[in-house]
Amino acid sequence: MSLFTGAGVAIITPMKANGEVNYDKLGEILDYQINNSTDAIVICGTTGEASTLTHEEHIEAIRFTADYVNKRVPVIAGTGSNCTDTAIYLSKEAERAGVDGCLVVTPYYNKATQKGLIQHYTAVAKAIDLPIIMYNVPGRTGCNIQPETAAYLAKNVDNIVAIKAATGNMAQETKTMALAEGRLDMYSGEDGLIVPLMSIGAKGVISVLSNVAPQQTHDICAKFLEGKIEEARALQFKALELVDALFCEVNPIPVKHALNLMGMEVGPLRAPLCEMEPANLERLKKAMIEYGILK
């Protein structure tokens, strides 16, 4: 059984002006997401600035989210690391916090081989009982889970159940689904490819767009799952300009600015992320106005 179908939000981590995590605001945006049809919450991923959270902050954000959501929708915790022992530690803490699954990114910077990836994911999976979504985003990590590796893990490790696909390579993702033979769920890791990836069997998306347009992103997936392919495609096309604007600078810089433009007051970014270039901010505003989420 899938962890979820539809649109899971790769949620931002709101900060106070002094840079501390703003838990009151996190509660507000969790309610906003759930009240606007988001199908799952993914906490402490790339969009959540996990790489600049301390381990204590990381675990507390996961614990807070699991407690606050209280099983209204599935909660999936980002627990990946380029150190296998650290990924195991974070995953065990997430399990103690009561989440429904873990999102484990490929080891970044040290660029594991395919053999190393098998050992890494197997070790993390064996340390917990939770289902695991592998996260393959080679543009950020310098490490790519090849289709053969993904299929091997799906077939040989019981609680490796899904992959978040963010390679931008439709041929690779199609091969992954073919080799996995139904043993691996797929979620789009790119908001511009929700419908294309669902056409080869993806269950939905883990989405940045959902932060600012939760109902609309849910609807893209829901229409496809209902068999209303043309309607899903039209919604995908409508979102493309906004999606491009949300990635005109490195994520999550634009999406945090977008939420602040919407009056959500999610606070600043943590260094080394910084304020947007003025021209890109204007592009983002324009796309938000044209999409109908900003006046």
Regions of the chain short of the pLDDT cut 70:
none
The whole-number pLDDT of residue 219 equals: 98
User: Is 47 a domain residue?
Assistant: yes
User: Is 281 a domain residue?
Assistant: no
Cα(34)–Cα(119) distance, integer angstroms: 36
Q: Which of 229, 151, 243, 147 is nearest to 196 (CA)?
A: 229
Domain count for the chain: 1
The whole-number pLDDT of residue 100 equals: 98
Q: How far apart are the first and last CA of the chain?
A: 41
User: Is 33 a domain residue?
Assistant: yes
The whole-number pLDDT of residue 1 equals: 73
User: Is 20 a domain residue?
Assistant: yes
User: Is 264 a domain residue?
Assistant: no
Bridge partners (DSSP) listed for residue 154: none
The whole-number pLDDT of residue 26 equals: 98
Query: Is 135 a known active-site residue?
Result: yes
Cα(11)–Cα(206) distance, integer angstroms: 9
User: Is 234 a domain residue?
Assistant: no
DSSP 70: T
The whole-number pLDDT of residue 8 equals: 98
Query: Is 164 a known active-site residue?
Result: yes
The whole-number pLDDT of residue 261 equals: 98
Which residues, including other chains, have CB under 8 Å from residue 191's CB and lie 6 or more apart? Answer: 205, 207, 208, 209, 217, 239, 243, 246
b/e map of 188-217 (b: 16 or more CB within 10 Å)? bbbbbbbbbbbeebbbbbbbbbbbbbbebb
The structure's pTM equals 0.97
* Alpha carbon distances (Å) from 93 to 3, 43, 78, 282: 19, 13, 11, 41
Q: What is the DSSP string of 92-111?
A: HHHHHHT-SEEEEEPPPSS-
Query: Among residues 25, 121, 152, 164, which one is catalytic?
Result: 164
Q: Per-residue pLDDT tens for 51-62?
A: 999 999 999 999
> What CATH number is associated with residue 173?
3.20.20.70
Q: Which two tokens stand for residue 193?
A: 């490819």
User: Is 190 a domain residue?
Assistant: yes
Cα(40)–Cα(19) distance, integer angstroms: 26
State the residue range of the domain holding 46: 6-228
For 281, how many CA atoms within 13 A lie in the half-sphere containing its CB?
Answer: 11
User: Is 252 a domain residue?
Assistant: no
Query: Among residues 25, 121, 135, 187, which one is catalytic?
Result: 135
